[in-house]
A and B are shown apart, each in its own frame.
Chain A
Amino acid sequence: MLGPQSAFVMYEEELNQINEVLNKLLRDSNSKVIFLVDKNGQLISAVGETENLDTTSLASLTAGNIAATGGLAKLIGEKEFSILFHEGEKDNIHISIVAQRVILVVIFDQRSSLGLVRLRVKKASDELGRIFEDLTQKTEEQERSGQSQSPFAEITDDDIDNLFK
């Protein structure tokens, strides 16, 4: 397990794999938008009709939503609610937890259905789970071999001060 302090790292290779899975899910489930968020509210990826969407806000609220329902779950003796579903007049949101650490959000309208989304999400979740397992392993290996070399290892006080000009 990664400690509470260590960073969550994403590499190009894994992000490409993730986007492949998300794009396939988008097609197979006939949905409008799909995004992946880490449990702390950081957006990992978004595919579909994202142009008019404030994905940063969506990511933060989704994480808040999952955190709040997770709190509710604990209070009644459940580990977590792994799926949430919100039904709107036109659009619906299907939210599920993948690999215990990331949140998969699917927005769909009448062109799709809850049944179809559920089915396709299940398959995509397995694939995403595997990618995140690889990612965790990769991060750990890099850390162990000491070559994780944070891009910030070399920064100077000047670099930081320049940010705040």
Chain B
Amino acid sequence: MSFINYASREINCKIVYYGPGLCGKTTNLQYIYQKTDPTAKGKMISLATETERTLFFDFLPLALGEIRGFKTRFHLYTVPGQVFYDASRKLILKGVDGVVFVADSQEERLDANIESLENLKDNLEEQGYRLEDLPFVMQYNKRDLPNVSSMEELRELLNPDGVPEYEACATTGEGVFETVKAVAKLILLELKKGG
């Protein structure tokens, strides 16, 4: 649920990065944080375990600039991907305006991707959302590794509806900004429709 503030002429939107454990959600946010001008970003908050696994969420506020005199701000969140943190994932999804699914392209993570995507749909439905109705983009991450599934296979299993999709390597940043731009754009188009 976006927040339109006529008093301060600001609009705030919430983007959630979803996907299985270790797929690279936190790495996406870290890269965006590192490469963003200090004036355009706030502090990045990571609520993580001692082994750097996301425990509750990562949070990164981004200011993109102005549209028609309104400052546009995006709040980027990641969920904890590990299966047993489902209760936390549901909380993070509240009020979401757009979703990025980060898939782990490695062959041995194919089932984990499918399971996580199903989990995303279930958790959204519980809150009265349908993934099909939300701004949604797919990122195939870790394309730099040798043991990855083919794009055809991933597309068929994870993106049958053909939402915007990007190949990425979050550690080097390839595809990272393309992904966030794509979902931000879909959100703004949704606002234009008067969502």
Contacts and interface: CB of A to CB of B under 8 A. Distances in A.
Interface of A: 2-12, 14-16, 38-42, 44, 54, 56-57, 60-61, 64, 67-68, 70-71, 148, 150-155, 159-160, 162-164
12 contacts: A7-B3, A42-B75, A44-B5, A57-B42, A57-B59, A60-B61, A60-B75, A68-B56, A71-B88, A71-B91, A151-B4, A164-B64
Contact of B45 (A60, A71, A164): A60
A153 B192 contact: yes
B128 interface: yes
Contact of B68 (A68, A71, A155): A155
Nearest to B181: A164
Interface of B: 1-8, 11-12, 14, 42-43, 45, 47, 56-57, 59, 61, 64-65, 67-70, 72, 75, 87-88, 90-92, 94-95, 127-129, 133, 181, 184-185, 188-189, 191-192, 194-195
Contact of A150 (B3, B57, B133, B194): B194
Given A7-B3, A164-B184, 10 more contacts: A9-B6, A40-B1, A64-B59, A68-B88, A151-B70, A152-B70, A152-B188, A153-B192, A160-B67, A163-B65
B81 to A, nearest CB: 17
Contacts of B181: 164
A148 B7 contact: no
Contacts of A64: 47, 56-57, 59, 91
Given A12-B6, A57-B45, A4 B127 contact: yes
Contacts of A71: 87-88, 90-91
A15 B2 contact: no
A138 to B, nearest CB: 11
B3 A38 contact: yes
